[in-house]
Structures are given as C-alpha cells and as structure tokens.
A = this chain, B = another copy of it.
C-alpha cells in the first residue's frame, strides 16, 4: 500500500560563496548561492540509490510529504513516497528549488551582496546548464557523485536531458516527462504574452517591487491564468466545467464556472510565486536548444551512459508528443537504451502531476531497472 513520506521540512545550504563563486555559463558570477531542498528516504551505504527530482516552471523543493497538514501534500506526492513509483523505501530522493527560484534558492528576489538590495532584473540570465550546475553542487554537498535516477516534467525534463548530455556517467536512469528539447514559435509566443502581462503591470516597476507595498499581482495572475489554460486539455475543461454558469445575465464579472476556476488559479498563484522568477524561468525555456548541433548532441548522448524514459501525454498541447518524439529520435540516433511512450490521459500537460496509472507503471519499472 503506497503511503506518504509524512512530515518533512525544507532544508537550506550555502553552495557558493564570495571565495568560491558560481560562474554561470554566460561568465556572470554569483558570489552567494544558497539552495532550499528536501530529501525523502535514506541514502544507502554505497551512495548509489539517489533519485534527483527537477521541478518545472512553478515548482519548488517541497515535492512530497507535507509541512504539517497531511491534506496539503507536496506537488509530486502522487509519485514519490513509500511504495510509490519513486519509492522512498528504496531510493534517497532529493528535490531542490531551482536557481532563480523564489522558494528558498537564490534568485531575483534574493539580496545582491554587492548592493544590499534585491537583485530584481539585475540578476544574471542563466541557462538550463546553470540549473544543473547548482544541482550537482548540492549533490556534492550531500556526498553524492552520481545518481541512480533523475526525473523531471516539462522544464524538469529539460534539466535531466542537459545533465545527461553534459556530465557522462552521472545519471544512470533519466526520465523526461512531457518535456521539450526546443520550444516552438507558439510556445515562445505564449510565454511572451505572459511576460508582457507581468512587465506591463503598473506595479512591476522594472522588477524593483520588493521594497514596496505593491506587487504586479494583476500581471502575474493573468500570466498564470493563460498558462493554466495551456496546462489542461480542452476535454478536461469541458468535463469539469462545460458551460456551467454562476450568473443568469451577462456581466463583466465571473459568469461562467470556468472563469471562477481560472480566477482562483490566478489568485492562489500570487501567494506562492514571484513575478521576476516567472520572467527568468520562461526565458530559460525559450533559449533551451540542446540539439541545435545534432551531431554533437548525438555524440554527447552516446557518451552519457544514461538509459532514457521519455513519456508524453496524448492530450498535452503545451508540449505535445511531437516534442517528446523529437527527443526520442535524437536519443535513438545515439544508440542509448530508450523507452518512449505516449500515454493516454485526459488531463493535458498537467498529467505529469496526476495519478495516471500507465505513466506511474512506466516510471516504477524504469527506475527498478526492469
């Protein structure tokens, strides 16, 4: 019977300092980087049972268990726990908040040591490779040199792919769920609208809104509402809401149930997310293009030592199966072991967060090496 890892706490660690700064792929430097992370399960004596969890755009370190209220579990509690596909009875699971994040890891809302003020948009731009560099430093801190598995959905899967390509021998099993190796013009366009909404908010103030009472809430909530539509399938919205209404007569308030739902999604997002982090992480995704030089990418993958599981969902229209198929195609060229499957699920892109039995079966079997 699958269970919960129970009560957990987020931990923090300083990973880079002025004497040992983090040098980004761009050459920019960060003289203080700390990371928030959680762990579940126990590291075995050989240090060989780590599964590293890479979160997506709006995730954080709190992937499993709860912080006091069992009714409010972490964002991937469906997948991670005793007896679950990422089985904490077998694996030592590590999940950090990403570089550039807003839930404990250094990002644009952190204090710039050079000025004593929040970075805002003076935080350097970074890449998926930089996210991986911080992950690896965290593992070094924990005394871990390689991982049994690395898993991520969407932006999380991008990190797994980059990691395997750049650091041969470090990731034994790489799991990419509804990820992409290259955003389309439509993907970039959707994120551009979200960014325009945020930067156009009267309270955005060029990103320097931290020391004010005003934050770009409307811009960020509109961005979230738009993104949320792309995370769910047309079918799932129709199943849940159809054309149900709360209003008899037309108004410019909330007339349809689907509007109430979206409005709620926008509002609750404000409590947990920072607008500048949204800007940075969407830009990271726009620029991600690890197969730009396909021959080089194929060679990197061939040398990775990684076995890959690439899962997509048939109703995902944010990163449809065509994206996963392209990842699988290039992995195929490399000759690395690969399981690629489109899973039937009504829930669109968000399926990676939900209990979709076939998807969970695939993850469990793959991590167990079968």
The answer to whether the Cβ of A75 comes within 8 Å of any Cβ in the partner chain is no
**Interface residue ranges of A230-256 to B (CB < 8 Å):** 234, 237-238, 240-243, 249-252, 255-256
- Cβ contact within 8 Å between B258 and A188: yes
Min C-beta distance of A196 to chain B, whole Å: 5
Given contacts A188-B259, A286-B256, contact A222 B243 (CB under 8 A): no
- A188 to B250 Cα, complex, angstroms: 13
Q: What 4 A-B pairs are tightest by C-beta distance, nearest first? A: A200-B218, A202-B202, A185-B237, A125-B250
A256's partner among B188, B226, B234 (CB-CB below 8 A) is B188
The answer to whether the Cβ of A225 comes within 8 Å of any Cβ in the partner chain is yes
- Cβ contact within 8 Å between B243 and A183: yes
Given contacts A125-B250, A185-B242, 6 further A-B contacts (CB under 8 A): A125-B251, A192-B225, A192-B258, A197-B197, A250-B287, A252-B283
- A283 to B252 Cα, complex, angstroms: 8
Q: How big is chain A's contact interface, by range?
A: 35 or more
The answer to whether the Cβ of A129 comes within 8 Å of any Cβ in the partner chain is no
Min C-beta distance of A206 to chain B, whole Å: 10
- Cβ contact within 8 Å between A234 and B184: yes
A 275-291 binary contact with B (CB < 8 Å = 1; else 0): 00001000110110100
- Cβ contact within 8 Å between A252 and B199: yes
Within 8 Å CB of A192, what residues of B? 225, 256, 258-259, 262-263
- Cβ contact within 8 Å between B225 and A193: yes
- Cβ contact within 8 Å between A186 and B289: no
- A189 to B233 Cα, complex, angstroms: 12
- Cβ contact within 8 Å between A229 and B189: yes
- Cβ contact within 8 Å between B200 and A222: yes
- Cβ contact within 8 Å between A125 and B249: yes
Given contacts A26-B249, A252-B121, A252-B279, contact A193 B243 (CB under 8 A): no
- Cβ contact within 8 Å between A186 and B256: no
The answer to whether the Cβ of A182 comes within 8 Å of any Cβ in the partner chain is yes
The answer to whether the Cβ of A266 comes within 8 Å of any Cβ in the partner chain is yes
